[in-house]
Structure 1
Amino acid sequence: MRHVAALAGVGIKTVSRVINDESGVSEATRQKVLNASQQLNYQLDMAAGSLRRAGRRTLSAGLLLPSVSNPFSGEINRAMEDALGARGIAVFAASLDDDPQREQTIIAAFLGRRVDGLILTPIAKSQAYAIPEHSRDLPMVFIDREPVGIEADAVVTNNSAGGATAAAHLLSHGHVRLAYLGDRTEIQTARLRRQGFIEELGRQGIPTSTVSVREDLHDEESARLATLELLTAADPPTAIFSSQNLVTFGAMRALRELGLSKQVALIGFDDFTLADMMDPGVTVIAQHPERIGKLAAERLLARIDGDTSAPHTYVVPSELIQRGSGEIRPRA
């Protein structure tokens, strides 16, 4: 705070008033202080008192997920809470909503509370903005998506291989007219799943130009509408690969509306509760969020405890689970 005051040419009390959004400061002075804070990458210390504890730790960690309401994110959250809670570390979870600006805003909020480490699912094109904190030995572990512009541990699924497995499975059941339903294209995992799916079709002699691709489907309703459009076209696909659980839900609704649940094959990426209770059961490329969360927590704890080994990307394999929908053969 003294550094900010010196750069802005004001007193420490003025800096405190601006940072805490108190009255009694002119707009011109406020802007000077905010500009100085930005230049110095100053974050309000919400937990300075707690740093009197031995080891100067706050016994907290920040967890940034795509959406805490998504079942996949929820399972990661729970696994993190179990693993870190055993060490007395509280987990503060927040939703990214796949918004690059929100990513930086929430991370700044975590830093302001002096968390002992960060577990992040990134969406911004680069995470280089976090280098100053990481270089000051703040442990960071990225999950689901690898970071760009910064070297740090990451725990991910083999997304491309999972997409390829889905393609090979549908081809093995006689399908040649296929459709791909994808999440937003700026999301790393969505691009990798599409890449694996399309490349496997090409390797097995299916002209990739014939694949019906619908992307930027980020919720159940947009996926439902895209599926309805595909299945009511003149030459509809006989099989669908949906690359995310909410997209799968939308595809399932469309198939049910059209009475095609037992006629059009469906494979979804991400398992979900009651998938085996559908009629037919839903075949999935299952990730293992509980393993991802547990491994990410272990890596964060290792870094907090002083592990200085080179950053590494850990891959948790996906798994094809056959339940019936992905085994439907095309009609003659």
Structure 2
Amino acid sequence: MNDVAAAAGVALKTVSRVVNSEPGVNAVTASRVQAAIERLGYRRNDSARILRRGRTASIGLVIEDVADAFHSSLIRAVEDAALHHGCLLFTGSSREDAARERDLVLAFCARRVDGLIIVPAGSDHGYLAPEFEAGIKAVFADRPPGAGCEADTVLCDNAGGARTGTAHLIAHGHRRIAFLGGSPRIFTAAERLRGYRQALAAAGLPYDEGLVVMGAPDPPRVGADLTRLLTAPDPPTALLAGNGRTTVEILRALASLTGSSDAGAAGGLALVGFDDFELADLLGVTVVAQDPARLGRTAADLLFMRLSGDEEPTSRIELATRLVPRGSGERPPLSLRDRTAS
């Protein structure tokens, strides 16, 4: 800045006023200072300026998988909110590993981010207590915090969405409905299983453990589980997929089994997926849609509210899902003879 002042022939305070868009500098002088800034390539040291205010103007976001479409939409929403508030966003993926989540969170804290948005992989967040005492603010998204932590939380209505999807299949005549969900230790998967069971109970249908498969959505496992379900003596007539990646793997497995890319073509199966995904509309897949962008915006709004000094009791917000019928979830059940013929 001293060099700029010397080149423009003005006082250091004048350069500071121009750089910080403060009043009190006439247009001719301001133009001369701007010309010197451009000629010398001067850049304002925002880090030093912000640190003098006791903030770093940065936040950290820890998600499960940056490649996943759900988390990509969430990231973009949080990034937009951060830019709106003049903040930088640091992002990392836990890959569903509690230790990796903890390492990422503490790495962000060591760099003195002002706040955190966490999609948790672990079930114990007591390690955050010293960070909270140091002034770090945190909001949990998609899943609640584990033991030892109280913080603002934004969720989707997982149980309600699964209940709606299952009830939709029941309303179309299905009584044997299989549920293929994520690992039962994951909050969202457990909640969706709970919603599935609630819909069965409300319709007076029995819960059959043989129709429930829980685990990671890897292709070999999904294909083997689907084959086992479809070749059982009393196979399901409909499927509820517990997440978007499982829905996609079901479609691939069905295509392999039947040679058709038609959603649910194997034996006339009806299919409802939890989570929308790219090309689901073209494939005619009925889904229970979440709104990851809204989830990200809401979490970011809560975080910046805390950073502005709000000290209200912590809140837990649950966002609604919506059923999007596209054809695959509206197929009526076929008789065993029809299923064999198809």
Classify the TM-score, shorter chain.
Answer: 0.7 to 0.9
TM-score (norm 1): 0.81
Letter in 2 for 1:273: E
Measure the CA separation in 2 of the matches of 1:114 and 1:200.
46
| CA displacement 1:81-101 (0-9 Å, x = unmatched) | 111111221111111111111
**Corresponding residue of 2:57:** 59
Measure the CA separation in 2 of the matches of 1:58 and 1:221.
46
| CA displacement 1:135-193 (0-9 Å, x = unmatched) | 33211000000112311101110111111111111100011111110111110110000
Measure the CA separation in 2 of the matches of 1:197 and 1:316.
18
1:288 lines up with 2:291 in the alignment: yes
- Of residues 258, 273, 277, the one that matches 1:272 is 277
Counterparts of residues 84-163 of structure 1 (less than 5 Å): 84-148=82-146, 149-163=148-162
Structure 1 residues 170 and 211, CA gap change in structure 2 (3 angstroms): farther
Of the two, which has the highest radius of gyration?
2
| Residue pair 2:50, 2:56 contacting (<8 A) in 1 also | no
Letter in 2 for 1:287: Q
- Cα shift at 1:218: 3.5
Measure the CA separation in 1 of the matches of 2:316 and 2:219.
31
Counterparts of residues 138-287 of structure 1 (less than 5 Å): 138-148=136-146, 149-209=148-208, 212-259=211-258, 261-262=264-265, 263-278=268-283, 281-287=284-290
Letter in 1 for 2:310: D
| Residue pair 2:217, 2:249 contacting (<8 A) in 1 also | no
**Corresponding residue of 2:333:** 330
- Cα shift at 1:210: 6.0
Gaps of 5+ in 2: 1-46, 336-342
Structure 1 residues 65 and 271, CA gap change in structure 2 (3 angstroms): same
Measure the CA separation in 1 of the matches of 2:243 and 2:124.
23
- Cα shift at 1:51: 8.0
**Corresponding residue of 2:311:** 308
Letter in 2 for 1:101: A
**Corresponding residue of 2:321:** 318
Where 1:79 maps in the other structure, the secondary structure is helix
Worse-matched range after superposition: 237-246 or 214-223: 214-223
Letter in 2 for 1:191: A
| CA displacement 1:15-60 (0-9 Å, x = unmatched) | xxxxxxxxxxxxxxxxxxxxxxxxxxxxxxxxxx758633221111
**Corresponding residue of 2:72:** 74
| Residue pair 2:50, 2:57 contacting (<8 A) in 1 also | no
Worse-matched range after superposition: 124-133 or 283-292: 124-133
Measure the CA separation in 2 of the matches of 1:92 and 1:194.
33
Letter in 2 for 1:327: E
Gaps of 5+ in 1: 1-48
Measure the CA separation in 2 of the matches of 1:268 and 1:52.
46
Structure 1 residues 62 and 177, CA gap change in structure 2 (3 angstroms): same
Structure 1 residues 51 and 224, CA gap change in structure 2 (3 angstroms): farther
- Cα shift at 1:221: 4.2
Measure the CA separation in 1 of the matches of 2:118 and 2:130.
16
Measure the CA separation in 2 of the matches of 1:293 and 1:221.
32
Measure the CA separation in 1 of the matches of 2:199 and 2:251.
24
Worse-matched range after superposition: 133-142 or 75-84: 133-142
| Residue pair 1:270, 1:287 contacting (<8 A) in 2 also | yes
RMSD across aligned positions (CA): 1.6
| Residue pair 1:223, 1:248 contacting (<8 A) in 2 also | no
| Residue pair 1:51, 1:58 contacting (<8 A) in 2 also | no
Measure the CA separation in 2 of the matches of 1:270 and 1:323.
13
TM-score (norm 2): 0.79
Measure the CA separation in 1 of the matches of 2:126 and 2:224.
37
| Residue pair 1:241, 1:266 contacting (<8 A) in 2 also | yes
Measure the CA separation in 1 of the matches of 2:309 and 2:189.
34
Where 1:114 maps in the other structure, the secondary structure is coil
**Corresponding residue of 1:32:** none
Structure 1 residues 202 and 61, CA gap change in structure 2 (3 angstroms): same
Where 2:208 maps in the other structure, the secondary structure is helix
Letter in 1 for 2:166: A
Measure the CA separation in 1 of the matches of 2:181 and 2:49.
45
| CA displacement 1:222-244 (0-9 Å, x = unmatched) | 32332232223332211011111
